[in-house]
Amino acid sequence: MNVYLLQVVNGIGIGMLYFLLAVGMSIIFGLLRFVNFAHGAFYLLGAYFCYQAVEWGLDFWVALAVVPFLVGFVGWTLERVVLRHVYDKAHEFHILLTVGLALIIQEGVIMVWGPIGENVAPPDMLKGVVMWGSFIYPKYRLFVILFTAVFAAALWWLLEGTRLGSAVRAGSESTDMVSLLGINVTQIFSLTFGLGVATAALAGVLAAPIRGAEPFMGLEALAIAFVVVVVGGMGRFSGALVGGLLIGIVQSLMSTLWPQGAQLMIYVAMGAVLLLRPHGLLGRG
């Protein structure tokens, strides 16, 4: 029984990382109606910037605090310089531009750090395991669960309890209405895109000590983020959280019950949800 309990807890940890990946994409789409196929590339940058910071002798905690802001600033700059010029174009333009951007970032990572993955050690205080009777769990993975839960609460407050959050939620319904209220919509767009990118980078930093940093992890992250967003409901914060946890637990449990099909079951779960609720579990019909 402890094996399955361990896998459920593992699934929660994985699911919270999936939530961080998906919530940024969901927020961006909810406000901008912009499909960002470069989202996984920012997760990739988060992992490699964390690796580089540790290699330079900086503390992991410094990387955890600084890297999401740094990558978020990169995303904010790209939105202002490049991406905002195609918002009014067809989705095909969004896809072509962001896929090209993702490939540029991926190839840039390979040029700088090489094609072989790099390992990132967890901080010293989070090495080892925690024991509750016969239940044993790695300290770092437990930290990831607790940290992402606190971050999710803070992000929920930002979106639900602040003026910025009100503008983002109103803008997801009608950008014209927000403009009439005297709010600078283009500035809100840039901040929202930067916030979404920063959450993806945060997921990359947290994932680096678990799986390392390798040049093609962004492609896997992009696929997972789309699955979670579709399962939870496009443009919904709560949908990203529920979808991330569901997909994480399914994947973790299936790695014990049917290891060869663990990855496949993610897409089976997505298909089952779409059959029952085409707009996602918490999506708006």
- Confidence (pTM): 0.92
Residue among 268, 199, 190 nearest 21 (CA): 199
pLDDT digits (tens, 9 = 90+) for 151-175: 999 999 988 877 777 776 666 666 6
Residue 137 φ then ψ, to 5°: -145, 140
* Residue pointed to by tokens 């503390």: 59
Q: Please measure the distance between the N-terminal and C-terminal CA atoms of the chain and give it in whole angstroms.
A: 39
Cα–Cα dist 236/234, whole Å: 6
Q: Tens-digit pLDDT profile for the chain (285 aa)?
A: 477 788 888 999 999 999 999 998 888 877 677 788 999 999 999 999 999 999 999 999 999 999 999 999 999 999 999 888 887 788 788 889 999 999 999 999 999 999 999 999 999 999 999 888 777 889 999 999 999 999 999 999 988 877 777 776 666 666 666 666 667 777 888 888 899 999 999 999 999 999 999 999 999 999 999 899 888 887 677 888 889 999 999 888 888 888 777 788 888 888 888 888 887 887 765
pLDDT digits (tens, 9 = 90+) for 219-261: 999 999 989 988 888 767 788 888 999 999 988 888 888 877 7
How many residues make up the chain in this entry? 285
- DSSP code per residue over 174-232: -HHHHHHTT--HHHHHHHHHHHHHHHHHHHHHHHHHHH-B-TTHHHHHHHHHHHHHHHH
Give me the helices (H) in the chain, please. 2-32, 39-55, 60-81, 91-113, 139-161, 163-173, 175-180, 185-211, 217-232, 237-257, 262-276
CA distances from 26 to 160, 172, 216, 244, 248 (A): 15, 11, 22, 12, 17
- Tell me the two tokens of residue 252: 């973790």
Furthest-apart CA atoms within the chain: distance in Å: 61
Q: Are 222 and 88 in contact (CB under 8 A)?
A: no
Neighbours of 10 (CB within 10 A): 21
Domain extents for the chain? 22-214
SS3 of 113, please?
Answer: helix
37 CB-side CA count, 13 A: 14
